[in-house]
């Protein structure tokens, strides 16, 4: 699916990735570059993983908008991170970010792994205790955003990633990035005559027939892929959780996440009308991924809806359209405010994050005392 991109476009994206790296507090040692392979990117030797390290994890799609934020969050938490890259362009882009240079991050290196190739995934995961599958199949040209064929590939990739996790004896946990789009597309979500808003939470799944009828291929792909992952993990020696983020925003999202945004926003006017159009900052998405991973040995399980803001007014919709450069995509021509017919719920994730922050505060208080 190679698409020609202008040098200016690539340079701008790389510069935004550098800025993200700096904003995350990345600082390395002068000897990091010496440990690096050609071009400043350290390459792992296949088979050197042994039984794995509890603090070593692999991230697929590690230079995607979400993946890059997850990697930085993991490094901040002291993990050793293996980036599973699919193409030479990904590798070149990573080199250009200078993540591995003197101003880069320690504890991270790259491997080449195709999410459609089981053997390469097994090799990439070997020696890791956990896997974050943030990779997604998206049209790099940003024209259609997502197609039915891509939805089918997404399903196969999900099955292969889970199978590779099971086969890699060191892997015990997998955090799978799904989407809120896998939860919200249903027939007659909330009758207008209802006195109470319908709750949309982790128990809700998008109706695949609705997605097909409306040609919502992104929602269909995310729904089918997440269900495929759960089927593949059932009865296996692997703990799986899924994170379902809303439309992901944040620093540089218009350029770095444009194709995913276009795909997600197909049918956005309906979501807006129903009170189901929500957003989430990419840093909070990363926080959620790492939080559920670290809680999987205790309380974390199942699905987690992830959002921090619901678009409720025409003014908010118009501002999001402006940020994306997609006039009329969300609110139509009128920008009229709409009543809320449903209630999105992220209480499950909120409880987990609140408990986690409380533990950190208690630990800090004990140390101070």
Active site residues: 222
Tokens of 273: 């009308």
Q: What residues contact residue 330 under an 8 Å CB cut-off, 6+ apart?
A: 265, 268, 269, 272, 277, 311, 317, 318, 320, 321
Tell me the per-residue pLDDT of 147-187, one tens digit each, with 9 for 90 and over. 888 999 999 999 999 999 999 999 999 999 999 999 999 98
Decide: 70 and 134 in contact? Cβ < 8 Å.
yes
Total number of residues shown for the chain: 369
Which residues in the chain land under pLDDT 50? 1-6, 26-50, 101-103, 334-336, 360-369
Decide: 293 and 132 in contact? Cβ < 8 Å.
yes
Question: How far is residue 278 CA from its own chain's centroid?
Answer: 15
Tokens of 241: 């959780």
d(C-alpha 137, C-alpha 156), whole Å: 11
d(C-alpha 175, C-alpha 59), whole Å: 10
d(C-alpha 328, C-alpha 270), whole Å: 13
Single pTM value for the model: 0.83
Phi, psi of 132 (to 5 degrees): -110, 110
Task: Check residue 268 and give its pLDDT.
Answer: 93
Task: Check residue 166 and give its pLDDT.
Answer: 97
């Amino acid at each position: 699916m190679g698409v020609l991109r202008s040098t200016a476009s690539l340079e701008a994206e790389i510069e935004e990735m550098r800025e993200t790296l700096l904003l995350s507090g990345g600082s390395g040692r002068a000897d990091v570059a010496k440990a690096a392979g050609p071009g400043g990117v350290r390459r792992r030797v296949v088979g050197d993983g042994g039984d794995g390290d509890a603090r070593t994890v692999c991230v697929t799609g590690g230079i995607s908008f979400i993946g890059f934020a997850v990697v930085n969050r993991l490094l901040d938490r002291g993990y050793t991170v293996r980036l599973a890259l699919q193409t030479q362009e990904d590798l070149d882009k990573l080199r250009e970010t200078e993540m591995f240079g003197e101003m880069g991050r320690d504890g991270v290196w790259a491997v080449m792994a195709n999410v459609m190739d089981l053997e390469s995934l097994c090799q990439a995961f070997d020696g890791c205790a956990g896997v974050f599958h943030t990779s997604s199949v998206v049209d790099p040209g940003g024209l259609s955003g997502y197609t039915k064929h891509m939805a089918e590939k997404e399903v196969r990739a999900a099955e292969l990633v889970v199978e590779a996790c099971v086969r890699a004896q060191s892997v015990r946990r997998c955090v799978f990035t799904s989407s809120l789009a896998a939860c919200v597309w249903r027939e007659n979500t909330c009758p207008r005559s209802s006195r109470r808003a319908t709750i949309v939470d982790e128990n809700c799944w998008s109706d695949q027939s609705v997605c097909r009828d409306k040609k919502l291929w992104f929602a269909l792909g995310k729904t089918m892929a997440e269900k495929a992952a759960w089927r593949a993990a059932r009865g296996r020696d692997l703990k799986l959780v899924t994170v379902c983020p809303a439309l992901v925003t944040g620093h540089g999202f218009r350029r770095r996440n444009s194709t995913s945004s276009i795909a997600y926003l197909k049918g956005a006017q309906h979501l807006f009308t129903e009170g189901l159009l929500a957003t989430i900052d990419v840093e909070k998405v990363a926080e959620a991924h790492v939080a559920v991973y670290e809680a999987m040995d205790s309380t974390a399980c199942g699905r987690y809806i992830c959002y921090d803001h619901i678009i409720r007014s025409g003014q908010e919709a118009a501002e999001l359209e402006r940020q994306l450069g997609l006039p009329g995509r969300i609110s139509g021509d009128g920008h009229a405010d709409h009543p809320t017919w449903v209630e999105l719920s992220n209480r499950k994730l909120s409880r987990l994050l609140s408990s986690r922050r409380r533990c950190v505060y208690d630990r800090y208080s004990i140390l101070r005392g």
